[in-house]
Chain A
Amino acid sequence: MTNAFTEIAFWTLSAITVGGALGVIRTQNMFRAALLLVVSFVGVAGIFALVNADFLAVVQLLVYGGGVAVLVIFAAMITTNVAEGNRGTDTQLFGLVVSLALLMALIFAVVQAQWTLLPDDLPEPLAAAFMDTPAAIGRMLLNQFVLPFEIAGVVLLAAVIGALSLVRER
């Protein structure tokens, strides 16, 4: 892995992700907002691939780029005339101040914290663990995380049944 390639990939993917997210909150057209959201999700998937999370990159594309995006587009088209209206609230200035303050605080915390970092080139047994993340994540889900895994299944079932009963025509 050449370092220059990683640099270029990181900055390009960051620009795509942040640009997409900014577009989502700026655009007035809900259909365009949903498409820009997909752009942002694909950028995040690229970031995942860049930091050795290949399984998560694929899941991100399938679940967000596929499922969530389609749901959002359908909901936007069912509920509204998409070209009209994504007006701001009365609390826009408050929101801007709060989020900028939080951003400053987070950046300050990240920069001044003392991290004990792993090197960019991992020593051998650690590098092997990051080579095969789908199998390792699968083993963890069925060993020490088996209870959360089962509960996640129940949560999804409850969400599907709840969604169906909410939108049912009476």
Chain B
Amino acid sequence: MLERLLILSAVLFCIGLYGALSRRHVIAVLISIEIMFNAVNVALVAFSRYITPAALRATGEVTAVAESTLLAGQTFAVFVIVVAAAEVALGLALVIATVRTKNSVDVTEASLMRR
């Protein structure tokens, strides 16, 4: 199951990468980056569920494993979601600001931050 989830995550990540590299529309590029964030979250959650914690591997006792090591991956995914939300809010604000000044949504035409 872990390998399947990681391959799903890799496929999603590469779809997002291809989208980010090959689209001209700014919002399409932002959406592709969101897909890549999601792929990373899938991998984090899969690792959190299926990888044996080091404490268990060392001692062989299930009672030695704290919940914090089991769920660290899921907590990290929460932080990834927070950063992704901040990124999309700022990114779309930048899109609106550049469309106001340049009247274009083409990323290949946006090479200056000023007017």
Contact = CB atoms under 8 A, between A and B. Distances in A.
Given A25-B19, A68-B34, A111-B3, A130 B25 contact: no
A53 B48 contact: yes
A89 B34 contact: no
B78 A137 contact: yes
Given A24-B32, A89-B24, A75 B92 contact: yes
Interface in A76-95: 76, 78-80, 85-92, 94-95
A140 B7 contact: no
B85 A17 contact: no
B35 A56 contact: no
> For the complex, would chain A's binding face be called helix, strand, loop or mixed by DSSP majority?
helix
Contacts, number: 254
Contact of B27 (A30, A48, A92, A96): A30
Contacts of A94: 21
Contact of B14 (A52, A100, A110): A100
B70 A130 contact: yes
B20 to A, nearest CB: 8
Nearest to A162: B90
17 contacts: A24-B32, A30-B25, A41-B38, A48-B45, A51-B5, A63-B85, A64-B34, A67-B85, A68-B84, A79-B27, A79-B105, A89-B21, A98-B17, A99-B14, A130-B70, A152-B82, A156-B82
Contacts of A64: 34, 38, 81
Given A33-B31, A156-B82, A25 B18 contact: yes
